[in-house]
Structures are given as C-alpha cells and as structure tokens.
Chains A and B, each alone.
Chain A
Amino acid sequence: MLDRLNQFLVEITRGGLASRFASDPDTVIADARFPDEMQKAIREGDVGFLYRFGAHPMALLYFARATGMSNEQYYKNISKE
C-alpha cells in the first residue's frame, strides 16, 4: 500500500488528480479507497501519521505545501511522536 500511497500523493499534488483534489478533496480521497485511518490522515493533512507510515519524504513535503502548510510547520509536525 505504501507505493500506492506515494503515487497518490504525487497525483493529488502535481499529477492528474491535482485540480480535482483542489476542488473536491473528500471525493478524491474516498475514491482512492485507502483504509479509514489513512483516509482520515490525508483529509486532515496529518503528515506526522503519513511520515511514520513511511510516505516518501519529498512527496509528503509537496503534499504539505499543497495543503498550505509552511515548511516550518511540516518539519515540526513530522518530528512529533
């Protein structure tokens, strides 16, 4: 599932799903059919959860930026236990 998560993060930030994700993120996330916990983390921009799950750091950083998170906040969030 990790590869699929990483590809999904790419698609929603700079790939074919980017514009749809920007306008209707809930539907795009639901359509991806990740487990509930993962869907919740993506929906809430919980980069700490996604980082600990093993998401690709660069894809995750770009996901954070796409959600409006600053670099400083991103690094703070992934460092939380």
Chain B
Amino acid sequence: MIAAATVHAPYLTGWPDRAQKPDLAATMDGFARLSEAYRAAEIDTLVVVTSEHIVNLSPKMAPPFMIGCGDRHPVFPERHFNLPVEDIKGDAAFAKALTRGFYDAGFEPAHSTELVLDHGTIVPLHLMKLAEAVSVIPIVVNSIFAPLPSLGRCAEFGRTLGKLIDELGGIRRIGLLATGGLSHSVGTPGVFDVDRDLDRWILESLLAGDVDAVCEIADAELDAAGNGTHEIRNWIVVAAASQPRKPVTITNIPFAEGWNMGVHQLLWEDL
C-alpha cells in the first residue's frame, strides 16, 4: 500500500509568492512526485489522516479520532487561500466498514456523515490534483483541543488501520496520506519559529522506521516546539500503518523563508 506524508500549510496556495523561488519550485515538485506515485499505483481510494482547524471539532466536542463516512464530504470555503470549495467524493461503505473494524479491534472513533474538510486535507489534494481521481476517506486526529490522543495510541491506531485496510479493502486500490506540519505554531507569538533539531530527529527516526522513538516525545516538548507540532500524530498513524516499510524523502526544506516554516514530505513506496 502506497503511503505519503506531507505538509498542508495554507500558505502554499494562499501565499506562493512569499516563498523563495527555489523553495516554491521544490515544494511543487514534491507534490507532483507524490501525485505521480499515487497515480502509478493506480489508487482509486485515498485514506487521508489529517488535522482540521475548528470546522468539526470545538471545545464542546473533540473526539480523538473521527472518520468521515459520507458519500461526499463538504468543504469549508477558504477562498482566501485560493482553494476549491467543491465537495469531495467519499466512500461511505468502506468508511463504515473501517469504523466497524476499529470498534471490533478496541478503538471507538467518532464517525460523521457530514465531516467537513478544510485546508488540512484540501491543500494536498488540490496540489496533487487528486480530488477528481479518487474517493477520499478522511480520518481526523484531534491535534488542537487537549487532552489529545497520546502518540503511542496514534501508533496503535495506525497499525490497526493498516490491518483493516488489508482485510477490508476488497478490490479497491488504496493509498494512505498523512497531512500536517512538523514543528510550527498557529496563533501564538512563536509563529515564525521552527525547531529544526526536533524536525531533523523526527525525520531521521521515521526514515529509520523507528516510529516508537517518535512516540516517546512528550506533549510538553511538542508544545515547546509550537502548538501545531501536535500534527505529527497524523504522520505517526501513517508511519505505523506502513510498517515495516521505511519511507524515502521527497522534500526536505528545513525552513522556507517567507512561508517561515519547514516543508517536509515522505513517501512509503508500494511494494
């Protein structure tokens, strides 16, 4: 099963001109290479492990995991980021089968027939031009309203996801995608900072196939690296689902001036 992980920052589409030209070119080339890999694998279904930004979750309701079980997924309009607003095709039957499988396996994710997608999902779909080509099953991991699912629990969730896809996928050709940034901040004074050492260590661990090492990072350390860093939960889910395979680096820009963030992309190639 082919899998990838990528940044989903809305600046990529909203403010492309703020980046240095080489960084913009490398980023777009990365999305093109990921798209090409998914197309070469002839996927028809993409399970997207993603974060959302207060379009489904809120302080009054924030499940650790939520699966989008709709035939179509509405899109939260973010035209200021130059993103499309058309609904995204889902796969209700497979999404519900996955949900039931999780319950049988000891996880109880929330499920929604009207899960709303935002830039966390739409940016990569749009830049890979995949929205029309595949059915999307979004799985939202709560990375914004504490308490959050532990990193270890995310890894277990991912291993279960990998097994369920193998068991329940049937004739579908399924790809996996994690979206989210490594160290970054949203809405706090540290918005222009990244923790390059932490990012490098996370990437080296994932490239070595050592998901468990990444799971040992304390939430306080993620907080110190920036509140957005909690999105690495999505990467952990997909990395665990892809074990024992190891990924390769598609894009590694430790800090893109102008966007003021790192741009990272990994690919777990299809066997």
A residues with a Cβ closer than 8 A to B are: 3, 6-7, 10, 14-15, 56-62, 74-75, 78-79
CB-CB under 8 A from A60, the residues of chain B are 187
Produce 1/0 per residue, B154-183, CB < 8 A to A.
000000000000000000000000000000
CB-CB under 8 A from B185, the residues of chain A are 57
> B224 at the A/B interface (Cβ < 8 Å)?
no
Q: How far is the CA of A6 from the CA of B187 in the complex (A)?
A: 13
Contact B59 A6 (CB under 8 A): yes
> B21 at the A/B interface (Cβ < 8 Å)?
no
Q: How far is the CA of A58 from the CA of B189 in the complex (A)?
A: 12
CB-CB under 8 A from A79, the residues of chain B are 189
20 pairs of residues in contact across A and B, judged by CB atoms under 8 Å: A7-B59, A7-B60, A10-B58, A10-B59, A15-B58, A56-B59, A56-B145, A57-B185, A57-B186, A57-B188, A57-B227, A58-B54, A58-B144, A59-B54, A59-B187, A61-B187, A75-B191, A78-B187, A78-B188, A78-B189
Top 6 nearest A-B pairs (CB, nearest first) are: A57-B187, A61-B187, A6-B59, A7-B59, A10-B58, A57-B188
Q: How far is the CA of A57 from the CA of B190 in the complex (A)?
A: 11
Instruction: Give the bracket for the number of chain B residues in contact with chain A.
Output: 10 to 19
Q: How far is the CA of A61 from the CA of B185 in the complex (A)?
A: 12
CB-CB under 8 A from B100, the residues of chain A are none
Chief secondary structure at chain B's binding surface = loop
Contact A10 B187 (CB under 8 A): no
Most buried by B among A3, A74, A75: A75
* Known A57-B227, A78-B187, A79-B189; 8 more pairs at CB < 8 Å: A6-B59, A14-B54, A14-B55, A56-B145, A58-B144, A59-B54, A61-B186, A78-B189
> B53 at the A/B interface (Cβ < 8 Å)?
yes
Most buried by A among B54, B185, B187, B191: B187
CB-CB under 8 A from A3, the residues of chain B are 59
